[in-house]
Amino acid sequence: MKRNIFLLIFCGVLTLAWSQPNQQPTFVSPEVYPDGKVSFRLWAPKAMEVKLNAQFEKAPVTMAKDDKGVWSVTVGPVKPDMYPYAFNVDGIQIADPKNSAIFPNEGFQNSILEVTGNSPLVHTLKNVPHGTVSYRYYNSPALGIRPVVIYTPPGYEENPKKKYPVLYLLHGTTDTEETWTKVGRANIILDNLIAEGKAEPMIIVMPYGRAYPKISKSAGSLRNWDNLQEFKPDFFENLMPFVEKSYRTKNDKNSRAIAGFSGGGGTTLYFGLNNLDKFSYVCGFAPGMLENEFERNNEVAFANPEKTNKMLKLFWIGVGKEDGLYAVNQKYMEVLKQKNIKHETFISDGGHTWMNCKLYLSTIAQKLFK
Amino acid sequence: MKRNIFLLIFCGVLTLAWSQPNQQPTFVSPEVYPDGKVSFRLWAPKAMEVKLNAQFEKAPVTMAKDDKGVWSVTVGPVKPDMYPYAFNVDGIQIADPKNSAIFPNEGFQNSILEVTGNSPLVHTLKNVPHGTVSYRYYNSPALGIRPVVIYTPPGYEENPKKKYPVLYLLHGTTDTEETWTKVGRANIILDNLIAEGKAEPMIIVMPYGRAYPKISKSAGSLRNWDNLQEFKPDFFENLMPFVEKSYRTKNDKNSRAIAGFSGGGGTTLYFGLNNLDKFSYVCGFAPGMLENEFERNNEVAFANPEKTNKMLKLFWIGVGKEDGLYAVNQKYMEVLKQKNIKHETFISDGGHTWMNCKLYLSTIAQKLFK
């Protein structure tokens, strides 16, 4: 009895300050079953309508409420992968309060569902040697103290004289420096590919790409060009020197790659193709671009295609057939062909998603530094 | 015009899959003003009632809706600190979708507000040398691949022969391995105290304390004792050896401390006071405990108070006067007095909060390894 009273107090203490009503029943969400079906649950007794918005579904899925106020739905079987999802509660999109796997983003909140299936995928956490993901800060005179997430491969600590090539990996427009590890599983993908001998051990540098506070976080992609102009000096004058001072990096252009998704894909092409002396590998993942900016943004690479081809070991563009950026990427590839600029294209199924990001990263990681 | 159409498409692409209605107006939340007042905003056109639940307020604060469907309220001035907060939308508690600073937790979702004021606080990110926060994995035969977050102090990489003392720092019951850095700012607090010469450079080990999958994440604090029994072998047989193999640790008991908050505070006392050969510093932050478990959980320390006093360099308990655990902690301190077990107490204002956690950590960090 005393124990029960205490537990009541103890739980009360934890929730009191939050005014979280404590009549909430106990349940799990999401719940993945062995057959690949998944149940989602949300306690929302006063809501009129709750829907599941999941990236494995084409449309929102209606959920049903039980007599305790818990809305639920079971869907699937879901194809093994990691998917962002959210609940739409009377028009408001919220993350799943029962799921601590959160999509780091400055514009919306989503949770992450992982369905593994019967055999591990390239991004599945496995019992192989693991690299280290480090959260660091570097100084930018213009932008202040900036966060960056850095992956060092398995063995980095144990081989204190070995130097490594570096992949700079950029997130999408409203993402953060954590999105490539938490949603893109960049670290796990590399752990697995390195363990299988399919990728060279490399350092991956995942900076925060928003030029905040100069560019507001609420600007979304509307000020991508302005953001580029602010992020460019930060990247080349602050971030790269910090990385090369703090880590055992190989500092020649053949040991440097740059890749990025969406807005960060546009940044990748702009940084990479205008700095051919610094990067031999340039990879755009559904890169964000405007047709009327092709010439301006590719100035150096377009000026001398023959030299460009000589300077680049890999120029790679991946995009999904259902991606809203597919059309403009197709036009860009046409221009590259016209100009005789060598490039590899990778046309996948699906849209502008992090499922595709994982596919693109696991594809290019096997082509770098070889 | 072309640009506008593109931007529409581009934004549409990013939001389409989420069914996030794209008529959402542009705004910032939270917005901290120079006078310490703070505006909170949430777009929820269909909601009937939206309230702000913030840990600097005694009660929920009603928000008002404008003609675009954005609810807002301006409060304060707010005393400089970092506070968890959430919006209550028609009875459902949600994090702030515009704020990427999230409270890592398995039971609820909150956002973090930071109010700095005119002079930096002990947890304010400053231009001092920064340590590294590393996300690692270790193997547990019983529990699988386990995450742990590890802080190494400034200079760790540059002094490859130097060895460091270790603080094991445990989170509250439904928190995760990220809560001590993201909400408790353990890394920034140590960076600042080390820069001022007030704390010894140390390694901080922040493991994930839930014995998942053996103990369900939805069990909350109801199965704390069972969790302890599962987490104990993982901690001593897997985590500690991993840390001492992977980092340059000083491995004597005088170079080891253990501290923790709430459920993790209870774990701290249980692990620390029953393993006096391993830890010379034991610090509970509002430790979770039951009066009828005092004798069982403190068996070794209580068995020989004189030896206990000789073995411990610091036995410290901090708790807030408004904490629901204040009463049971008072009773525990009475028992310690009766048994002549030396201990330091620190009675603060406030309740069972992470504001107090930061205060407690910054207090004990100055007492360790000296």
Tens digits of per-residue pLDDT, A91-145? Answer: 888 999 999 999 999 988 899 999 999 999 999 999 999 999 999 999 999 999 9
Q: What pLDDT score does A3 carry? A: 42
The answer to whether residue A23 scores a pLDDT higher than 90 is: no
Is the CB of residue B62 less than 8 Å from the CB of residue B90?
A: no
Report the pLDDT averaged over residues A238-243: 98
B11:A221 CB<8 A? yes
**Is A141 in the B-facing interface, judged by CB distances under 8 Å?**
no
- How does DSSP classify residue B219? G
CB contact under 8 A, B6 and A125: no
Average pLDDT over residues A312-323: 98
Q: Are strands B256-261 and B144-152 parallel, antiparallel or unpaired?
A: unpaired
Count A/B contacts: CB-CB distance under 8 Å. 230
ipTM of the complex: 0.93
Residue B45 has its nearest CB partner, among A91, A110, A353, at: A91
CB contact under 8 A, A324 and B13: yes
Give the whole-angstrom CA distance, residue A357 versus residue A264: 12
| Cβ distance of B2 and A292 shorter than 8 Å | yes
d(CA B179, CA B263): 13
At B172 the pLDDT is: 96
Confidence of residue A237 (pLDDT cuts 50, 70, 90): very high
3-state secondary structure of A67: coil
In this model, does residue A19 exceed pLDDT 70?
Answer: no
Tokens read off for B315 = 């036995």
Residue A80 confidence (pLDDT) above 70: yes
Per DSSP, chain B holds a count of helices (H) and strands (E) of: 11, 17
Q: Cα dihedral sign for B10, B12, B18, B22?
A: positive
Provide the token pair at A66. Answer: 């039980």
Contact B13 A323 (CB under 8 A): yes
Q: What is the pTM of this model?
A: 0.94
Parts of chain A belonging to CATH 3.40.50.1820: 132-364
**Residue ranges in chain B whose pLDDT is less than 70:** 1-22
Instruction: For residue B94, list its beta bridge partners.
Output: B87
Q: Start-end ranges of CATH 2.60.40.10 in chain B?
A: 21-115
> How far is Cα B151 from Cα A132, in angstroms, rounded to an integer?
12
pLDDT, residue B22, reads: 54
Q: Does domain B21-115 have CATH number 1.20.1050.10?
A: no
DSSP code per residue over A256-310: EEEEEETHHHHHHHHHHHT-TTT-SEEEEES----GGGHHHHTHHHHH-HHHHHH
Up-side HSE of residue B276: CA atoms within 13 Å toward CB? 19
What pLDDT was estimated at residue A200? 98
Q: What's domain A20-115's architecture?
A: Sandwich (2.60)
Which pLDDT value is given to residue A22?
55
Amino acid letter at A60?
A: P
Bridge-based pairing of strands A281-285 and A314-320 is parallel
Question: Could you tell me where the beta strands, DSSP code E, fall in chain B?
Answer: 31-32, 38-43, 50-54, 61-62, 64-65, 70-75, 81-89, 92-94, 111-115, 132-140, 144-152, 166-170, 203-207, 256-261, 281-285, 314-320, 344-348
Is residue A21 over pLDDT 90? Answer: no
The answer to whether A14 faces chain B, any CB pair under 8 Å, is: yes
Q: Do B136 and A125 touch (CB under 8 A)?
A: no
Give ranges for CATH 2.60.40.10 in chain A.
20-115
Pick the CATH number of B132-364 from 3.20.20.70, 1.20.1730.10, 3.40.50.1820, 2.60.120.510: 3.40.50.1820
Q: Looking at chain A from residue 292 to 311, which residues have their Cβ under 8 Å from any Cβ of chain B?
A: 292
- Nearest residue in chain B measured CA to CA from A26: B218
Question: Residue A1: is it exposed, middle or buried by C-beta count within 10 angstroms (0-12/13-18/19+)?
Answer: exposed
CA distance B366 to chain A (A): 24
Cα separation, B79 vs A369, in Å, equals 52
Of residues A272 and A13, more confidently modeled: A272
